[in-house]
Amino acid sequence: MSSTESTDLGRALCIITGASRGFGRTIAREMSRLVKPGSALVLAARSGDDLRALQTELAESEAGKAGLVVECVVADVGQIEGLESIVKASKEAFSDDIDHVVLVNNAASLGDVSRYAKSFTDMAEVDSYLSLNVSSSLCLTASVLQAFPQRPGLRRTVVNISSLCALQPFRSWVLYCTGKAARDMMFRVLAEEEPDLRVLNYAPGPLDTAMLTEARSRTADPSIRTSFSDMFAQGQVLTCEASCAKLMKLLLEDSYTSGAHIDIYDLDTA
């Protein structure tokens, strides 16, 4: 497959949620290096400070100096106003030269992993979790697809940052597993409906991020918690950079089946 691999993502508009830290931040950095001149990044997150620091970093990078547009949107993707401001910024950053729109649905929350499913009696808590982690990614994706409809010469790619939790149940992770399973299915339906669209559910593996720290310290189930600690102690946790490199390779090769769930551990190490 590598023989057909492109070396860039095109003149792209890349929209990335949860871009201020962790995996989203790494994706923003990597994408900035893989897009052609004339491209734009729209980076969304709740934390304005972190986002602006990233914007400054990218502006000073080689791509930034070559004219890469980096727009920051301080927004909560769990609120409709947040989604609207991301779409508005994306429309403004778009130009007729753009030949590839890439949306990376990365923003997510872990949910309260310190409790078991039988403790979730508060509908408002579950509703809020699903709104942020499921509804928002459907509504943002739909809005972006409407803002940039199918037309000759425009490629469109939607990435869902998924997890092994979309496929396997983990004790005391009911919200996270439920949300990830829901998102995977949502994007599988989308892939069935829109044959011109490229849809990828990418499970990045256990990453050295704040979310993993939270998982290691707060997971209620002792054996799950221990397995995270062991993973960390044994150096099995991946860097965001290593996992992101695999994701970028998938996007450059562009040969995955649209709608597929691809786990980093499914990929060969080449």
Residues that bind a copy of itself (CB under 8 A): 79-80, 83, 116-124, 126-127, 130-131, 134-136, 138-139, 141-143, 145-146, 166, 169-174, 177-186, 188-194, 221, 259
Q: Whose Cβ is closer to a copy of itself: residue 30's or residue 184's? A: 184
Answer yes or no: are the C-beta atoms of 176 and 118 closer than 8 Å.
Answer: no
Q: Whose Cβ is closer to a copy of itself: residue 21's or residue 183's? A: 183
Q: Whose Cβ is closer to a copy of itself: residue 124's or residue 270's? A: 124
Q: How far apart are CA 28 and CA 105, in angstroms?
A: 12
- The letter for the amino acid at 193 is E
Instruction: Please state the closest distance from residue 178 (CB atom) to a copy of itself, in A.
Output: 5
Instruction: Please state the closest distance from residue 126 (CB atom) to a copy of itself, in A.
Output: 4
Paired strand residues for 239: none
Instruction: Please state the closest distance from residue 72 (CB atom) to a copy of itself, in A.
Output: 22
Closest CA to 13 of 147, 112, 110, 113: 147
Residue 10: C-alpha distances to residues 62, 126, 157 (Å):
17, 39, 12
Answer yes or no: are the C-beta atoms of 193 and 199 closer than 8 Å.
Answer: no
Instruction: Please state the closest distance from residue 146 (CB atom) to a copy of itself, in A.
Output: 6
Q: Whose Cβ is closer to a copy of itself: residue 226's or residue 239's? A: 226
Residue 2: what are its φ and ψ, rounded to 5°?
-65, -20
